[in-house]
Structure 1
């Protein structure tokens, strides 16, 4: 009984060491096993975040800003930098994948309202886009150039 209580006391007093912010950010930037780290070009429908989401936390832990170049992707790793081209208008914008989504069927990317304005899709809300990753975080913590790096 004494050994059990000593063990219990040791377990209670030994608190887990908090992960440092820089280490946590590095862990968040690593690709998940299901992420597409190939850097290939993707095509599909994009939509934009609603302004009421301003200030909410994104998957990377940062707060969303409607004036940022944030984007959400279900398949690209967090931290991916990509060039997005609206296939209807030909306009392009650079984004950084900082969140997960979109969760609407048939969509491959959510962008901030500022980026939607740059792409000329703010009024319509949805547009066909081409996503060309420029820099893609890898599972080992390194980064590699994507298909958009050579353009």
Structure 2
């Protein structure tokens, strides 16, 4: 009886071990799920280009110096510091970049990669590539970006630390508005006028306001 009980226990152990090995050893064929986080989101398909030596060391749109050896990129509308995975649809290679500049403005191009980023997905020679953009870090749902392909401009007339001063300024200018902006972890209150998808129209409004004594400048609505 002791021998029979030993045989039964041994068989049970072997069956249990085989089941565990099968679960743990099953291949994961979903490479997309494996390589992206649960919060990642595909946001755009189109053509990528790259920029290099002629811009190296010059200021980017967010005030940094462009470094063609860093993994950065320019996009028309994505909020600065968004982290984007760029997948080359021609060869399957991917690179992750940080948005710190504006562009490209050539027709049918959706992102301008640094030289280093272009090299990572093997598109230096071709100059362009078909890509998918996947948002890895960033918040589009709570941003002021309404169209990824079309920048929106406004005229900034003033910026205040105190809310009441901003509203006092705004009341003098019909059609203006006050928006709360987080800058260096602090709130500032800015007075804006209008929203325009055409930059020249925004410049015309700026000149019109200047003639009335309200100076300002045209800026892109970032986020």
- TM-score normalized by structure 1? 0.64
Pairwise CA RMSD of aligned residues? 1.5
How many residues are paired up? 103
Q: Which runs of 4+ in 1 moved over 2 A?
A: 137-141
1:40 Cα deviation after fit: 4.4
Equivalent runs, 1:78-89 vs 2, <5 Å: 78-89=80-91
Q: Please identify which structure carries the higher strand content.
A: 2
1:76 positional shift: 1.1
1:75: Cα distance to partner? 2.2
In our comparison, the structure showing a higher alpha carbon Rg is: 2
Unaligned runs of 5+ in 1: 1-38, 142-151
Higher relative contact order, chain-length normalized (CA < 8 Å, sep 6+)? 1
Quote the residue 2:101 is aligned against.
99
Deviation at 1:116, TM superposition (A): 0.4
Query: How many angstroms does 1:50 deviate by?
Result: 2.8
Normalization by structure 2: what TM-score? 0.44
Partner deviation per Cα, 1:69-120 (whole Å, 9 max, x = no partner):
1100012111100110000010000000000000101100000011100011
Aligned mates of 2:119, 2:42 — CA distance in 1: 25
Distance, in Å, in 2 between the alignment partners of 1:87 and 1:101 is: 21
SS of the residue corresponding to residue 132 of structure 2 reads strand
Asked if 1 retains the 8 angstrom alpha-carbon contact of 2:42 and 2:132, the reply is no
CA distance in structure 2 between the partners assigned to 1:76 and 1:130 by the alignment = 14
